[in-house]
Amino acid sequence: MCVCVLICATFCIFCLMLLFLLGQNSVNHVDKLLLKGFRYPELEKWVRSHGYRAGQAMMLWKRLYGNNIWAHSSEELEGLNKDFRNMLTQHAEFKALHVKDIVAASDGTRKILFTLDDGLVVETVVIPCESGRTTVCVSSQVGCAMNCQFCYTGRMGLRRNLTAAEIVDQAVFARRLLTSEVGSITNVVFMGMGEPLQNIENVTKAIDIMVDEQGLQFSPRKVTVSTSGLVPQLKRFLRESNCALAVSLNATTDEVRNWIMPINRKYNIGLLLETLREELRLKHKYKVLFEYVMLAGINDSIEDAKRLVDLVRGIPCKINLISFNPHHGSLFKPTKDEKMIDFRNFLAKAGCIVLMRPSRGDDQMAACGQLGMPGEVQAPLLRVPSQFQALVEASI
């Protein structure tokens, strides 16, 4: 009997110790803070709260974002003292993302698929350029709530916003993984998955970290945030940020834009453009970029070009004509090259600054409007205006 009691007591003590250790591990994991969620003043305050000097916070910051280190663990913090590194091992988390796959397109574009801690997947694109101006296209959300009818990401609906750390880490991973192959990554565009201005708090925080002169050192002029036209957030962005703004316009009448971009039903073309006119009066030497995805037979007529010239009159801007990139379930076809050139020439003759953006990475679903993976439940396709029904039906 005594032996049985001793065995039971020993087993109970073992169980209690195991529960204690598991609890400690759980607490340690929960207590770990994700470093890439900090602006520098926040990081410095956190480092000082653990009894270390501000200078050590700056050394850590430079190893996270500068000096071609892009540290992902305390083992990569060469030059920091041992006690500080041990504290970081216990209390800090370095990575917000985990690489799932890297896909290379025939034109050299790379698409990186990241798994998040909750199992969701987000995509980032790195676009090399012969001029040396390599761009990383980052996502701001998993999916998108805007339901633009020409966009594959919009078919997903919105799963959730990305945190500032998850946004920043896309740029860090891009530099860490691909700089040796594609050269220096100098530009950031928020044109991946999601509507950036619907996640404006985390996007602006991520931008602050990206443009920090002691960190990733992206020039504000080379960071571009794209929006479908959320007017209140657009006003705030223009007033608070020096970064570039791109507005996805894509139509010259409310009837067409209501269909292909449902956000227009809340903030129509007139309100959107008048807001830009008013806000840009307050900014010096600033041009907004209008993005115009060209859809065959929908928005690519010379009449559309005439209306577009009138719509943007008085707004300091550039116009970027984008070839539609087909995807599964799409109702649209891309405008033929000759017609795009005619459209561009009309705008140019009318005095507009106009560019044509070639598709990049489209053979690996890495091009504009092709990111993401809709599941079984998808955002609805909207009613096609009567004048386009025959055209759409013929394309299916």
Q: Could you give the residue numbers annotated as active site?
A: 123, 368
Distances (CA, A) of 331 to 92, 177, 189: 47, 36, 27
Facing residues of 92 across strands?
Answer: 33
Please check whether residue 114 is in contact with residue 100, taking contact to mean a CB–CB distance below 8 angstroms. Answer: yes
DSSP 177-232: HHHHHH--EEEEEE-SSS-GGGGHHHHHHHHHHHT-TTTT---GGGEEEEES--HH
Of residues 329, 330, 332, 326, the one with CA closest to residue 376: 329
Provide the b/e sequence for 54-93 (b: ≥16 CB within 10 Å).
Answer: eebbbbbbebbbeeeebbeebeebeebeeebbebbeeebb
Residue 218 backbone phi and psi in degrees, to 5: -70, 135
The answer to whether 280 and 286 have CB atoms below 8 angstroms apart is: yes
Q: Angle at CA 29, nearest 5°, toward 26 and 32?
A: 145
Query: Mind spelling out the 3-state secondary structure of 39-106?
Result: CHHHHHHHHHHCCCCHHHHHHHHHHHHCCCCCCCCHHHCCCCCHHHHHHHHHHEECCCCEEEEEEECC
